[in-house]
Amino acid sequence: MIVDLSDVLVSEGMQKALEVPLEMTGFENGTERFNVTSKLPISFVFSNVGKGKAEILGRTRLSFGAVCDRCLREVLLDMELEFRRKVVLPGTEDEEADDLGFMKECRLDTEAFMHNEILVNWPAKILCREDCKGLCPKCGQDLNLGSCGCDRFVPDPRMAVIQDIFNGNKEV
Ligand SMILES: [Zn+2]
Ligand SMILES: [Zn+2]
């Protein structure tokens, strides 16, 4: 949705609250696409904070269908977002202004805005649970369901050096 912020940007002391539906049905984080499985409207408060300057405060909640990075089980990625951004009239100098491509002149593109908020909050790792044991690299067994009995011992190369010394390997 496009929200015209020109009145807030030019009217000193003006504040405007607005609920905006989130239209996106999916999110691309640059490598993958995730479906939005539930979402709330975005609650915005736009406040004038000076000549030609406005603050965007807001919050929303949404979730995505994803898979655990370790065991590939399907998980729901819940995201609770709260944000505060500053925008300015074109030509207004302000070092704190967020110019992230969601403003066109005085109009706010709420979808582009939310895409950015989701992106900066996207987790580095998606796990079904903190201590997910993942899959066995040898046989693919889900190790959360039990051990598979494969020998997964990977010697630490530094330990190998020490072992060589113990074994009297003169080439170390
Ligand atoms: Zn997992
Ligand atoms: Zn295995």
Using a CB cutoff of 5 Å, list residues around ligand 1, an ion: 68, 70-71, 128, 132
Cα gap 99→71, rounded to integer Å: 38
Q: How many CB atoms within 10 Å of residue 64? A: 22
User: Would you say residue 90 lies in a domain?
Assistant: yes
Ligand nearest to the CA of 150: 2
Q: pTM of the full predicted structure?
A: 0.81
Residue 128 lies in a domain: no
Choice between 158 and 117, residue whose per-residue pLDDT is larger: 117
**Is residue 75 situated within a structural domain?**
yes
Consecutive H or E run containing 80: strand 74-88
What percent of the chain has pLDDT above 90? 76
Residue 171 forms part of a structural domain? yes
Same domain as 171, residue 109: no
Least confident piece of the model among 15-29, 116-130, 149-163: 149-163
Q: How many CA atoms lie within 13 A of 58 on its CB side?
A: 25
% of residues, the chain, pLDDT over 70: 88
Please report which ligand is nearest the Cα atom of 145.
1
Over residues 75-82, the mean pLDDT reads: 96
Domain range for 117 is 2-121
On whether residue 150 sits in a domain, the answer given is: yes
142 and 115 inside one domain:
no
Distance 141 CA to ligand 1 centre (A): 12
Phi, then psi, of 157 in degrees rounded to 5? -60, -30
Domain assignment present for residue 127? The answer is no
Domain count along the chain: 2
Claim to verify: residue 106 and residue 153 sit in the same structural domain = no
Tell me: do 101 and 144 sit in the same domain.
Answer: no
Does any domain span residue 137?
yes
Same domain for 65 and 102, yes or no, is: yes
Q: Give distance in angstroms: CA of 7 to centre of ligand 1.
A: 49
Question: b/e map of 36-53 (b: 16 or more CB within 10 Å)?
Answer: beebeebebebbbbeebb
Alpha carbon of 43 to ligand 1 centroid (Å): 33
Asked if residues 85 and 109 have their Cβ atoms less than 8 Å apart, the reply is: no
Q: Are residues 97 and 143 in the same domain?
A: no
Q: 80 near 64, Cβ under 8 Å?
A: no
State the distance from the centre of ligand 2 to the C-alpha of 70, rounded, in angstroms: 14
152 and 100, same structural domain?
Answer: no
pLDDT digits (tens, 9 = 90+) for 7-30: 999 999 999 999 999 999 999 988
Among 71, 104, 70, CA closest to 87: 104
Mean pLDDT of the chain: 91
